Chain A
Amino acid sequence: MSSGNPRKASSPAGRKPAVPALCRAALREVMSDSGKLSTGEQGASEHIEACGFCSARVQARSTLSNWASARPAVPAVLASPSVLEGIYERAAEAVEQGPISTWLEQSVVSTAEVAASSDADPSFLQDCLHESASGSELLRDFVRSPAQPDPQVWNGVCRSILEGVASERVMRRQTAWRVLLFGAAAAAVVGLLSIAEDVPVQPTITFADLDHAPDVAFANVRYGSRY
């Protein structure tokens, strides 16, 4: 392990190792955008020579700079129309599985059948243009007014909503009555209590010890003469 390796010294667990400021400054000084190493300051060069991290970076740059500077060419096969059509078809197939296709199938406006493409049939293009016009109308209709549901279904939904609202109204009315009644009862109780006579409270009885026996017959029986 190099004593000058900054990675192990300062890298927190699980994160990209932090580049020490000294290394960063030295690398910035030495490397340039052209990919060629500049001489830089003497201190930076000495640091890079001494620091294993920085020397590895410098060595890698010399290898990768050529590759990074040249833009690679697009493969010729990607430019062919058949490849593009394939991409479009795959996109259309993916949409067919989604909610848009379901809406299109259920919509009132009939969608025109799309014939297989044929370069030799010019009317196809006109049909496509025509279809695209009706498609824009379709879009306009979609935006303006959504598709109407089945009347029976919609009536059922309306009925259930109204019943729910009606029941809430009834509950609110009943709750209000209950609150009113409870308040009236509480007021009556308070009023009665305020005007009622005092309720007798259990008397408190205490015992007081006597020094001599009271004048009772039993005391005379026990003690005899009590003069």
Chain B
Amino acid sequence: MPSLRPIPDASPIAKWLIAAAACVGLLVPAAGQRAASLSKTAPPVPTLASIGQALLIQDYTVEQFRRFRDELGNVVTVRERLEVDANGTARPDFEITFLGVVGEPAGSALSVEWQQSYLRFGNLFFRHGSFQVRDLAKASVNYTLHDYGQVVRAGRMARRMVVFPASVDKAIWVVDIDSVTSVPLFIAEFDNSLQLRANIEALTFTPSVQAITPTQAAANVTPMTNYAGAEAFLGLPTGLVDPIVLVTPDYALERIEVHDDPINGRQKLVMSYSDGIDQYMVVQTMNSFDPFVGLPSAVGGTHTIGRFRDPALSALVFWDDQVTFHVAGRGSLRRLDEVASRIYLQALSN
């Protein structure tokens, strides 16, 4: 067995020289890389402003995977094609086409189901299911953007960014932003326990678009400028309220629409609130029946709010004076309980 001979101590001068040489050895290649990168004119780091601007001006066509997680936690990956024709507004024309369910043969029951879903809700998938900077001023206040370096996505250079909320009850976003167009090529939504809740992954990207047939909402949608206009449009029905949502001061009214449901013919007043990136909705459906009548909780003069909550969705429903109210948002936004309570009290006091 070879004996372990002690290594003779080097002199202090020798140690210093070795350390200096090691530092030089590490720094020179790094400096060389930096010089090389600078020489390639690296694209600027995306900002919330550039991401929001892309929505207004950038035409593009992308094939992508959109992954859904159902109430049971099962993940379904759907392949789709999205064509966006920017029109200078925050609501560009677009066409979303169902291509198939990954792992499912064409024509299978599941594929047919999802095809029907895309026909009915495709409009919602793009408008409300993607990462968008809806209000730059509010997004700048309520979120911070962190750069995590360059990546390659869909064969293109992109920048990995993390969008961190200022409030703990909102989603954390990891987005790969196309370095040229600032269009998100990869979107991952995490809840506050760092569980993945939604995902969109671009497979191919083309910064242009052919003539499209814009995908319309299943319902006949009429945009409104304000609540008074919507109320007048609906004929001043009783039971309708202008929601007071002071509980969520970081959210502002983004959009008001009147939907005519083609299935049952009921009209709905849909009001969307946004903090710049996140959203929740207050929907008032007229001429509806009380879903809680006859339930034990409805006895004794108490008023019931039905609540469904899981990590992905918070949905609250209540009824008063022929109007069914829905308040819905992401699962972590528990303040929606208070929003629903206050709107209910508002409706009861009218």
Min CB distance, A213 to chain B, in Å? 5
A224 CA / B301 CA spacing, docked (Å): 37
Q: Please, which residue of chain A has its CB at the minimum distance from the CB of B337?
A: A207
Interface-lining segment among A29-37, A65-73, A214-222: A214-222
* A224→B315 contact, CB < 8 A: no
A212 CA / B317 CA spacing, docked (Å): 12
Interface-lining segment among B41-49, B110-118, B233-241, B243-251: B110-118
* B128→A217 contact, CB < 8 A: yes
Chain A: residues with Cβ within 8 Å of the partner, total of: 26
B70: A residues at CB distance < 8 A: 223-224
Question: Does B345 reach chain A (CB closer than 8 Å)?
Answer: yes
Min CB distance, B316 to chain A, in Å? 8
Given A214-B326, A224-B117, A225-B68, 10 extra CB contacts under 8 A: A205-B344, A206-B302, A208-B297, A209-B307, A210-B315, A213-B310, A216-B283, A217-B128, A222-B69, A224-B125
Question: Does B124 reach chain A (CB closer than 8 Å)?
Answer: yes
Question: Does A151 reach chain B (CB closer than 8 Å)?
Answer: no
- Give the 10 A-B CB pairs with smallest separation, nearest first: A218-B328, A224-B68, A225-B117, A210-B308, A220-B121, A216-B326, A216-B328, A204-B302, A221-B128, A222-B312
Min CB distance, B279 to chain A, in Å? 8
Question: Does B270 reach chain A (CB closer than 8 Å)?
Answer: yes
Min CB distance, A215 to chain B, in Å? 8
Question: Does B71 reach chain A (CB closer than 8 Å)?
Answer: yes
Question: Does B154 reach chain A (CB closer than 8 Å)?
Answer: no
B295: A residues at CB distance < 8 A: 208
* A209→B348 contact, CB < 8 A: no
Q: Please, which residue of chain A has its CB at the minimum distance from the CB of B268?
A: A217
Question: Does B306 reach chain A (CB closer than 8 Å)?
Answer: yes
Subset of 29 A-B contacts with CB under 8 Å: A203-B301, A203-B303, A203-B344, A203-B348, A204-B301, A205-B303, A206-B304, A206-B305, A209-B309, A210-B306, A210-B317, A211-B308, A213-B71, A213-B315, A216-B281, A216-B315, A217-B128, A218-B128, A218-B281, A218-B328, A219-B328, A221-B129, A222-B129, A222-B312, A222-B313, A223-B69, A223-B71, A224-B70, A227-B113
